[in-house]
Chain A
Amino acid sequence: MSVDWKPFASHEILVQRAELLKAIRCFFAETGALEVETPILSRAGTTDPQIESFITHLTGREKALYLHTSPEFAMKRLLAAGSPDIYQLCKVFRQGEFGRFHNPEFTLLEWYRLGFDHHALMKEVVDLLKQVAPFATVDGEPQFLSYQDIFLQYTGIDPHQTDTSELSSFARKKNISFPAQMTTVDDWLDLLISCWIAIKLPQDRLTFIYDYPASQASLARLRLEGGSYVAERFEVYYGSLELGNGFHELTDAHEQASRFQQDQSARVLNGQSIIPSDSHLLEALSFGLPPCAGVALGVDRLLMLITGAPHIKDVCTFSIENA
């Protein structure tokens, strides 16, 4: 079967994309945030074992360059250097991610608010969506649930006090198919949130899930609560579709360095390639990153919801299939 040279998105959807981008810029012009551009090519990439970068080279130089998987590190360096609230609309690249809701190259909206925590930022996500994608807020009132609450509600399991045997017996009891190699508690939590909880979320409203297990902190700061650490981050879903990820940002350089180290150890263990940790980010954090919260939203998925398109390629001019 030959792949068509024509764009996947209809002209109407391209108009809706242009309007969405305009509405997003309008929101930030009104609420006060500076639009910035940061490099797509970088000497360091994400060390996150769950995300793989595209790798390339500058002619004549030996060291690899990485296509950014999110503009996060560069934007934090801007904040440390004194930038006010900033936002960016850009293409990001993730190796190996393609499917109905994934294209390896996609459009991200990322923004940072100084002095915000993740709760304040969740409220602003609602404000933004009200303005740029009214569908998302006219139906049901957005719901806000902690990771612990949502697990208790849908599985009866406390994610902060569980183990692999409790989680695997739940999966067996509910007939949830799972891979042969499930080693960590996080493997099971990820499986259950993707393949059990997310599909049962109310379909007519936004759901915010916040305060993740410390083992899934990524770049969020930790808080001690009820005897266990939780990571101050959130994910936002519309129905079952994950739209974005936000953090009350980690500002401690030592803690950041040790998370890079943990990521690298995990990558070695998994047989993944080692990606250079971003030393410039560590220097910026040592210099001082003001307290802030940041979030990244998938613009293509937002457009899928606005247009009702069934596949991400239907909202792209050309997807990876015919790029």
Chain B
Amino acid sequence: MATYSTNEFKSGLKIMIDGSPCSIVENEFVKPGKGQAFNRVKIRNLKTGRVVEKTFKSGESVEAADVLDTQMEYLYTDGEFWHFMDPKTFEQIAASSEVLVDNAKWLKEQDLCEVTLWNGAPIGVTPPNFVELKVVETDPGLKGDTAQGGTKPATLETGAVVKVPLFIEEGEMLKVDTRTGEYVSRVKA
């Protein structure tokens, strides 16, 4: 079993806490003038996304989590599972809706996503930071409307709904930031 000493702690390190794979967000070394040193660590549970604080005695060892972030191509969904393929090995994996959480709405076939695998099984899918998606439904923009800052909802081909400027029309391709869910720009066809 691989382990890490607290001396090796740094943000991004993957460790097992209470049976769950976690990623270190922040590591702080604290020590009274004379006496026991501690590492106070903020960790993100990779399955639930929750961030909790843990304290270790400095020098303690913690089990390493066999977690791998890998780039995979999104293939399709059968409604129950979302299927991805490693473009190098052509190996395929299926992720359930619990793993996708609300990221499914950004997935477009053939886009490269980051799939987080724990012991070979997917525990998280991160879509590309920016995706290009077609507007399939939105109210027509008013001709000559020059009001600043007005927005309206638009439904995209993957089902995601984003706020867009009033001049956007159905059939247009948009660039969207998946981290914030915000419209970035139009994409020239």
Complex contacts, B53 vs chain A, CB 8 Å? 177
0/1 string, A255-293, CB within 8 A of B gives 1? 000000000000000000000000000000000000000
Q: Does A61 contact B (CB under 8 A)?
A: no
A177 to B53, alpha carbons, bound, how many Å?
7
Query: Which of A97, A100, A190, A193 is the most central at the interface, judged by chain B CB atoms within 10 Å of its CB?
Result: A190
**Contacts A177-B53, A181-B57, A181-B60: A193 and B38 contacting too (C-beta < 8 A)?**
no
The count of residues in chain B whose C-beta lies closer than 8 Å to any C-beta of chain A is 23
Q: How far is the CB of A310 from chain B (nearest CB, A)?
A: 13
Pairs A–B under 8 Å by Cβ, sample size 30: A50-B37, A96-B58, A99-B27, A99-B28, A101-B29, A102-B31, A177-B55, A179-B38, A179-B55, A181-B60, A190-B32, A190-B35, A190-B38, A191-B38, A193-B32, A193-B35, A194-B32, A194-B38, A195-B38, A198-B32, A216-B34, A216-B35, A218-B34, A233-B34, A235-B32, A235-B34, A242-B32, A242-B33, A244-B33, A245-B33
Q: How far is the CB of A214 from chain B (nearest CB, A)?
A: 13
**Contacts A177-B53, A181-B57: A191 and B36 contacting too (C-beta < 8 A)?**
yes
Identify the closest chain A residue to B27 (Cβ).
A99
Query: Contact between A191 and B28 (Cβ–Cβ < 8 Å)?
Result: no
Do most interface residues of chain A lie in helix, strand or loop, or is the interface mixed? mixed
The count of residues in chain A whose C-beta lies closer than 8 Å to any C-beta of chain B is 30
Query: Contact between A191 and B33 (Cβ–Cβ < 8 Å)?
Result: no
Q: Contacting A97 at CB < 8 Å: which of B29, B35, B36?
A: B29
Query: Contact between B54 and A190 (Cβ–Cβ < 8 Å)?
Result: no
Q: How far is the CB of A319 from chain B (nearest CB, A)?
A: 13
User: Which B residues lie at the A interface, using CB under 8 A?
Assistant: 7, 27-38, 40, 52-60
Identify the closest chain B residue to A231 (Cβ).
B34
User: Which A residues lie at the B interface, using CB under 8 A?
Assistant: 48, 50, 96-102, 176-179, 181, 186-187, 189-191, 193-195, 198, 216, 218, 233, 235, 242, 244-245
**Cross-chain pair count, CB within 8 angstroms:** 71
A179 to B59, alpha carbons, bound, how many Å?
12
Complex contacts, B33 vs chain A, CB 8 Å? 235, 242, 244-245
**Contacts A50-B34, A181-B60, A218-B34: A195 and B55 contacting too (C-beta < 8 A)?**
yes
Identify the closest chain B residue to A233 (Cβ).
B34
Complex contacts, A99 vs chain B, CB 8 Å? 27-30
Beyond A186-B36, A198-B32, 20 additional contacts (C-beta under 8 Å) are A50-B34, A97-B29, A97-B37, A98-B29, A99-B27, A100-B29, A101-B29, A102-B31, A177-B53, A178-B55, A181-B57, A190-B36, A191-B55, A194-B31, A194-B38, A195-B38, A195-B40, A233-B34, A235-B33, A235-B34
Q: Contacting A48 at CB < 8 Å: which of B27, B32, B34, B60?
A: B34
Complex contacts, B29 vs chain A, CB 8 Å? 97-102
A48 to B35, alpha carbons, bound, how many Å?
9
A102 to B30, alpha carbons, bound, how many Å?
9
**Contacts A102-B29, A179-B56, A195-B40: A96 and B34 contacting too (C-beta < 8 A)?**
no
Identify the closest chain B residue to A175 (Cβ).
B53
Complex contacts, A101 vs chain B, CB 8 Å? 29
Identify the closest chain A residue to B55 (Cβ).
A177
